[in-house]
Amino acid sequence: MASFNHPGSSAEDEWLFFGSVQCFFEPAPGTAFVYNSTTVTEAPEAERTWLKASAIARQRPLASLGEDYSHLLVDAVPVADLKISRSSDGVETWPEALRVPLLKVPSGKFQGVASGIRSALWSNEGKWYRLKGCGNNSEGFIIVPVQDDVGAEVMQDGQPLQKIRGASYVHTATIELHSSAKVDTVARRCGMACANVPLGWYEYCLPDTPLPKVVRCCSVFQTFGDRRLADHVLRGLELLLPLMASSAPVALGSGAPIKFPDNPFGGARPGADGFDEMQQTHMIVVGGGGLECPLSSFADISQQRLVGLQLPTAPDVPRQFHEIWKRNCAKLTEEVLCGTEQCASLVGYLYWRFGWECGTFCRVLREEGICWGTYADGTGYHCNAHGNNMVLAAEDPAKPERPFTMPLDFDMAYTRDTFAFSEDEARDRQMFADNAEVESVSMLRDLGGAPDSTGTKNDHAVPPALEPLRWALRDTMVRAWLGAFRGEADTLPHDAARAAHAYALLRLALVMTHDVIG
C-alpha cells in the first residue's frame, strides 16, 4: 500500500486525515520487540488447553502474583494466549526515534498527534506510526478503580478493584499485532485493507512503577488513517447539513412503518429499542436502490428535493483551514452547478458507501469465524464493532478505486477456534455464536445512530428541521449495511470518477471536527 505521502499531499491534508491536536513523547527505559510470523504465533491445537486456561484465569484478580495484586484486574480477552519468541532483530529498520520505547509526556523531545486517551501518532518522512498504549494522556500509566455502568466503584472484600490505565499488556499487544495481520489478509479478499500494519511492541521498564510484575506494553504500527467514521466523518457531514441543505423531506407522515427482513443475521435482528423513533418509522435510500417495504409518496421524493443543497458557506473555522475550505468548495463546483442534483446525490452516495463497506467487512469477519472483540469481563462490557473502529483512508489520487474506509483496533479479536471464555467447549461454541450476532447488530445500531454504543456517542445535534434528513441519510447507511452483510448486489457501487469530489466534501467534514480526538 502506498504511504500517505503521495503526489499532491500536503501538511494541510495531514492535519485533516491524521489530526491536529499535538502531544509529546520522551524516550523511556525498556525494550522494543519486532512482530513477524515467527515471533508471535498461534499454538498448535494440542497446546491450546493450557494457553486457554491462562487466558481464563485473567477473569479474576491477579492474586497469584502476590497480595498487592489481589484486587488488580487486567483485560481478560477470551482468546488462547499466543506463543511469543521475543526478538529485536529488525528494529534497526524502524525510524530511529521509534527504536526505543516512547512515552507520552506533557512536553518532550518528540512531537506527535493525540489519538484517544492511551494512543498517539508520530510521523516521519511522510509515513505515520501509531503507538497504542503509550500512556494515559500525559500522565503515564496510572492505577484507577474499576467502575460499574453508573460510575460506582466495584468492591471485593471491602476494597475497590483496580485496573491500569494507559497501557497495553503483553497479551493484548500481541493479540492486536497478530490479529491485525490476520484480519488484513481476510479484508483484502473483499478489496479492503486494515488501517494498521503491525511492526512490534514495547515493554517498558520504568523505575518505581507500582505493581511492577504486570508489564506495561505499547503496540507499534505503521498507520494509514485516524479520522474515525463516527466521530469525525459522520459527525462532520451532519454538522455540514445546515450549511448545505435548504430543505428536508416533505410529508414524512405519509411513510409506512419500516419492516426489516426476517432474520437478517441468521437469528438476531435490531430490536424495537435499537433505533431512533424516526428510524423506526421511516426509511429511504438516497441515491440507492429500492426497498422491501412500501413508502407511499415518500419514496418518490427526488434526490434534489431530499437534499436541496447549496454550495457550502464558510463557518467560523480556524484560520489554518480557510484555504482548505475555499479550495474544496471550488472543487465541489466542478460537480455541483448550483441547481443540479449531483451534490445532493454525493452526500447520499457517501452514506451508502460507508454502510456498504462496513457491512462487507462485517460479513467477511462472520464468514471467516472472526469476532472483532465482543465480550464482558471484570472491567466491563466491551464491543469493538462500532463506527469509530473504521477510519477514513487518506485520499490517494493515484488510486481512486480504493474504498473510503479501513478497519482497525483488534486488541480484543478472537476466532471460533481460539475463543476461551470457560472450560466448557460446548458453552464456548454457543457463546462465540451469540457474540458474533451481537457484534453485527451492534455495528448496525451504531451506524443507525443508537445513543448507547460502547465506542461512539452519537450525541451531536442538527437543527430540528433537518432531523428528518439526518435520519434518512442514516437509514441509507443502514440499508446499505444490510445489503452488503446479506451478500446482495451493490446498487450504488464505488465510482472512482467521483472520488475527488467525494474527498472534497469529506475534507469539509473533517474541518468541522478537526479538534475532536478520536
* Whether 150 and 110 share a structural domain: yes
* Whether 236 and 202 share a structural domain: no
Do residues 226 and 201 touch, judged by C-beta distance below 8 A? no
* Whether 200 and 290 share a structural domain: no
What is the C-alpha separation between 180 and 174, in angstroms, rounded?
10
Any domain includes 440? no
Cβ-based neighbour number of residue 185 at 10 Å: 11
Q: Give residue-wise pLDDT tens across range 456-503.
A: 666 677 888 888 888 989 999 999 999 999 999 999 999 999 999 999
pLDDT tens, N- to C-terminus, the chain (518 residues): 333 333 334 677 888 999 989 999 999 999 999 999 999 999 998 888 889 999 999 999 999 999 999 999 999 999 999 999 999 999 999 999 999 999 999 999 999 999 999 999 999 999 999 999 999 999 999 999 999 988 999 999 999 999 999 999 999 999 999 999 999 999 999 999 999 999 999 999 999 999 999 999 999 999 999 999 999 999 999 998 888 765 444 333 333 333 333 443 343 333 333 333 333 333 333 333 332 322 222 233 333 333 334 555 666 777 888 888 888 888 887 765 444 445 557 889 999 999 999 999 999 999 999 999 999 998 889 999 999 999 999 999 999 999 999 999 999 999 999 999 999 999 999 999 999 999 999 999 999 998 766 566 666 778 888 888 889 899 999 999 999 999 999 999 999 999 999 999 999 999 999 989 87
* Whether 30 and 154 share a structural domain: yes
Any domain includes 393? no
pLDDT of residue 478: 95
pLDDT of residue 12: 76
Give the end of a domain, one of 195, 223, 251.
223
Give the end of a domain, one of 206, 223, 240.
223
Count how many Cα atoms sit within 13 Å of the Cα of residue 177 in the half-sphere of its side chain: 34
Number of domains in the chain: 2
Residues 6+ apart with CB under 8 A from 291: 283, 284, 285, 299, 479
With H, G, I as helix, E, B as strand and everything else as coil, classify residue 497: helix
Give the end of a domain, one of 223, 248, 280.
223
Query: Cα separations (Å) of 287 from 83, 401, 405?
Result: 49, 19, 20
Do residues 5 and 86 touch, judged by C-beta distance below 8 A? no
What is the C-alpha separation between 404 and 394, in angstroms, rounded?
8
Q: Which three cell numbers stand for residue 28?
A: 523511556
DSSP state of 231: I
End-to-end C-alpha distance for the chain, whole angstroms: 23
Backbone angles phi, psi at 215, to 5 degrees: -75, 125
Alpha helices in 264-341 (DSSP H): 277-281, 303-306, 322-332
pLDDT of residue 490: 96
* Whether 197 and 242 share a structural domain: no
* Whether 60 and 82 share a structural domain: yes
* Whether 152 and 173 share a structural domain: yes
Place of cell 527505559: 29
Residues 6+ apart with CB under 8 A from 86: 31, 33, 39
- Helix, strand, coil tally for the chain in percent (to 5): 35, 20, 45
Any domain includes 47? yes
What is the C-alpha separation between 142 and 136, in angstroms, rounded?
7
pLDDT of residue 335: 60
B/e letters for 449-458, b = 16+ CB within 10 Å, e = fewer, are bbeebebbeb
* Whether 207 and 233 share a structural domain: no
Do residues 129 and 222 touch, judged by C-beta distance below 8 A? yes
* Whether 263 and 202 share a structural domain: no
Report the DSSP beta bridge partners of residue 489: none
Residues 6+ apart with CB under 8 A from 148: 154, 380
* Whether 364 and 499 share a structural domain: yes
* Whether 92 and 153 share a structural domain: yes
Any domain includes 137? yes
DSSP state of 149: T
For residue 396, give the amino acid letter: D
Q: What is the CA radius of gyration of the chain?
A: 23
Helix (H), strand (E) at residue 119: strand 119-124
Any domain includes 165? yes
Any domain includes 288? yes
For residue 194, give the amino acid letter: C
pLDDT of residue 458: 62
Place of cell 498504549: 133
Closest CA to 508 of 392, 403, 389: 392
What is the C-alpha separation between 437 and 430, in angstroms, rounded?
11
Q: Alpha carbon 47 to chain centroid distance?
A: 33
Backbone angles phi, psi at 439, to 5 degrees: -60, -45
Q: Give residue-wise pLDDT tens across range 392-434.
A: 999 999 999 999 999 999 999 999 999 999 999 999 999 999 9
With H, G, I as helix, E, B as strand and everything else as coil, classify residue 360: helix
Output the CA torsion sign for 211, 214, 219, 220. Answer: positive
Domain region containing 53? 20-223
* Whether 191 and 285 share a structural domain: no
This prediction has a pTM of: 0.86
Any domain includes 376? no
Output the CA torsion sign for 233, 135, 65, 163. Answer: negative
Any domain includes 420? no
Alpha helices in 368-492 (DSSP H): 425-447, 467-485
What is the C-alpha separation between 329 and 256, in angstroms, rounded?
37
